[in-house]
Amino acid sequence: MITRTAVVASKSGLHARPAALFVKAAGAAGVPVQISKDGKDPVAANSMLQVMTLGVKQGDTVTLHAEDGADAALDKLAGMLETDLDG
């Protein structure tokens, strides 16, 4: 299992448009990806409902989880989270 951490840059956190863009990218990653916050159990990153239940706000640190070999996918997703997607 590999992980990446990211600080969420979007003003609305992982809600509305930023969450939709992230969930879509996670679903297209080609590997199962999970996301967690504050050391809680990870949830499916490709599920809008599960991602929204995390209550991620701007400035929160989240952790992405995937199986070994998914480095590029996690790097891309972490980069998205560290970008303001509200625009």
Of the pLDDT bands very low, low, confident and very high (cuts 50, 70, 90), residue 87 is confident
- Closest residue by Cα to residue 34 from 58, 59, 67: 67
Predicted TM-score (pTM) of the model is 0.95
What DSSP line would sit under 11-51, residue for residue?
TT-SSHHHHHHHHHHHHTSSS-EEEEETTPPPEETT-HHHH
pLDDT tens digit sequence for 38-53: 989 999 999 999 999 9
Q: Are 68 and 16 in contact (CB under 8 A)?
A: no
Q: Where are the domains of the chain?
A: 2-81
Section 69-74 average pLDDT:
96
Query: Left if phi > 0, otherwise alpha if psi is -120 to 50, otherwise beta: which for 50?
Result: alpha
Residues with catalytic function: 15
Question: Considering only the top CATH level, what class is 2-81?
Answer: alpha beta
